Structure formats: structure tokens, C-alpha cells
Amino acid sequence: MASIIIGSQWGDEGKGKLVDILSQQFDVVARCQGGANAGHTIVVDGKKIALHLIPSGILNEKASCILGNGMVIHLPTFFKEVQGLQDKGINYKGRLFVSDRAHLVFDLHQMIDAMKEAELSNGTSNDSIGTTKRGIGPCYSSKASRGGLRVCDLYSPEHFKKTFTRLVENKHKRFGSFEYDVEAELKRYQEFAEMLKPFVIDSVYYLNQAFKEGKKVLIEGAQSTMLDLDFGCYPYVTSSASSVGGACTGLGISPNKVVTQIGVVKAYTTKVGSGPFPTEQNDHVGDSLRKAGSEFGTTTGRPRRIGWLDAVVLRYTSMINDFTRLNLTKLDVLSDFEEIKIGVDYKYKGETIKSFPASLETLAQCEVIYESFPGWKCDLSHVTEYEQLPIQAKNYIKRIEELVGVPIVYIGVGVERKNLIERKELI
């Protein structure tokens, strides 16, 4: 059976750390969607390991790691990460695999991504999506329009050349003349094809065989539910299904295989890129949280937007994913605050609304109703058991559980692996 770890906000919740820790209990760790726009930072023995494509479970040397069919893969980035693992002495050979059905992100897609963002912004950031410019959206667009190339196509040279040349020609028609050496790129991908051979498998067959053999599979979600193409604040979303449904289509597995859905919740809220953010704090509170939490994007380096915890968002994402348990991260970041707030409801035209609005115009007119809580004003990094937490922190946790209706089983109180409280009695 499978468990999945999913972000419950706008990303950057700290999913990688939980995957790293829980992966020790699993035989297979798989990513199902997204590409190098994901950024997971894991801290082991004081050393930071940043991953964008390769699953965080790679640090468990007993687990196989899969880049699933729903992913879009930029091979130069993949090989750079593989080299990084090798440099750090992390064994990956014979246990890191790439789906033959995954689509390829080319440098061309990245160029198009930047051009489209420039078109939308028109000198400002008001209308741009705020993408990472990693070519993710344009690659998924090529996939949806049936003009993309998959990993398996690397081994059909004539088909690859024909389709790739057509792809470039179509982009020239849309964006005009721009410099791109097709022949050099084709030659480069011939070399990549040979380099990639040891990693390529039929991941759909592999995973379903793993289930038949009774193996445990951990699915590592990328981005987050509030960035989901359907359920996020469209159009300020990613280009894939980043909620629980994406695991089935992105790995080729039955929904009944996924039995545990773990939602990762940051103790406050952050966001990168444009779009609505109801609890955003553009003041000293936001500045203090950003500094205390080192809130700068793993992928882009951009300062993240900051706000209080939003329970309306959490109820919405929990409903979609049917979370069975939560991981509350970065509780320690709130330790210096006298007062902490949670957005518990939205009011629209004076009336409390029951669901998260689809219309961004409606959302922009919503008033957030807050509840305030006293802070605990003490360091939490030494805490290893739930009972050791100050009463104020326990009350904060309890209120989140009440508002969302899901138990908080894991609590992060620092950056290291050891800084995770596990309430085993709730599992």
C-alpha cells in the first residue's frame, strides 16, 4: 500500500524533511508530478542538501526512488543532481529510476517560460504568474497539445529529431525569431540518451509489481494543493495536479492503493509568486517571520510572501485530499512572538462563507476573521516529546486540529532530522 505526503498550502511547507524521515520505513519513494520547480532542502548533520528533481527519499539507501510518468524532467538538471549525490558519497546506483513515459523539459521550454512571463508582466509584476522559469508550464503545454517528447523517445532518433524540430518551428511561429541551435541540442540529447539508459524503466509496471510483492510505497508530492491546476487560485497555479489525484495519474496506480494522506502545514503561511494571499502580512510581522524562518525560495532564491496560518485554506485542502494526519512544521519560528494569529473564517459582503471561493474577485473582497493566541516566548529546538511543549504551543496545536478536524501527528521544532516530535499514540 502507499502513503502520500502533500503540501496543504502554497508550497514550501517542509515536505522534504518528512519524506526524508518517513522514507526510512518504505521500500519505494516516488514523485508523481512537477519538475525542477520543486525545491526540497534537507539538513543532515548540519549539511544542507537541496534537491529539485530527485525524491528526498534518496537518502534512505535501502529505498528505490522513482521519477514518475507525470513528471517533466530537465535532463541537465537531473545529471547535475546525480553528480551532487556522487560528490556527497550518497549511493544511488541501481535504485534511482526515471519513467520512460515522463516528458522532457528542454532549454527551449525555459526560454519560452521567460518570454511568456515577460509578456504577461509588460514591465510590471501585476499580471505575471510568478513562475520559476524552469520551463515547467511550457513543457506541460507541449504534452497537452501532443507535441512533446518523452524519455522513451530518446531511443527513437528519427522520431525524436522530427518532433523536436517541429516543436522549435512552432515556437518560432508563436514568439518570432530567437537564437536556438537545433543541431547542437539534438547532438546533446543523443549523449544524454546514453547517459540516461541505466536509469530508465517502465515505472508503471515497476510500481504495480511492488504492490503485488507487498512493498510499501511513499509518494512525495511536489508544489502544493493551493497550486493545483484545478483547485488552486487559477491562473496563479502550477501546471500539474498537485493534490492527491495527481498521484494516481502521475504514477499509474489505482486510487485504492493510497491509504494514508499526510498533509504538511507550516505553522504560518508563505507563498512565492503572484496571486491572492488572504492572510498576508506586509509589515513588521511579515518581516520578522521571514527572517526567523529563512523564507527564501530553494529554487528561485526569491523572498517568500508571509502571512498568518489560514484555517480556511487548510479545511479546503483537507477536504480535497482527505488528510488522515497532519505534519505541523516550523512551530519554532513562532517562538519570539507575543501574539500569534490564525485566520479562522472569511466574510464576504458581511456573511461568513462556507467554502474557499473559486473567483479571485470574490476572494479579494473577503475579510479574514482572526483568532489570537498568546505566544510561548521560549526556544523549542530541544523539545523531543509533545508533553514537553509549553501550554501555549499545545493550545495553538489543539486549535488547529479543531479547525481542520485532522490530528497533528508530526510537529517540527527545528531544521535537523532530530527536531521532529512524533505523537505515536495518534497513529
39 is in an annotated binding site: yes
Q: Could you say which DSSP state residue 61 is in? A: T
228 is catalytic: no
* pTM of the predicted structure, to 2 decimals: 0.92
Per-residue pLDDT tens over the stretch 162-220: 999 999 998 888 887 778 889 999 999 999 999 999 999 999 999 999 999 999 999 99
- In angstroms, the CA 271 to CA 133 distance is 16
What is the number of alpha carbons within 13 Å of residue 102 lying toward its C-beta? 32
Which among 42, 69, 401 has a CA at the least distance from the CA of 205?
Answer: 69
Q: What is the pLDDT of residue 127?
A: 61
Annotated active-site residue in 12, 100, 153, 228:
12
12 is in an annotated binding site: yes
298 is in an annotated binding site: yes
166 is in an annotated binding site: no
Q: Could you say which DSSP state residue 105 is in? A: P
275 is in an annotated binding site: no
- In angstroms, the CA 58 to CA 64 distance is 8
Is the CB of residue 56 less than 8 Å from the CB of residue 96?
no
Annotated active-site residue in 52, 143, 266, 271:
143
345 is catalytic: no
412 is in an annotated binding site: yes
12 is catalytic: yes
Measured N-to-C along each axis, helices 182-196 and 75-87 cross at an angle, to the nearest 10 degrees, of 40
DSSP string, 31-53: E-SB-TT--EEEEETTEEEEESS
Per-residue pLDDT tens over the stretch 31-82: 999 999 877 777 666 667 788 999 988 988 899 999 999 999 999 999 999 9
Cell match 514518475: residue?
A: 68
Cell match 508571509: residue?
A: 306
Annotated active-site residue in 40, 103, 116, 341:
40
197 is in an annotated binding site: no
Q: What is the pLDDT of residue 164?
A: 95
301 is in an annotated binding site: yes
* Range of lowest pLDDT (124-138, 224-238, 311-325): 124-138
* pLDDT score of 360 more than 60: yes
Q: What is the pLDDT of residue 16?
A: 84
302 is in an annotated binding site: yes
| CB neighbours of residue 334 within 10 Å | 23
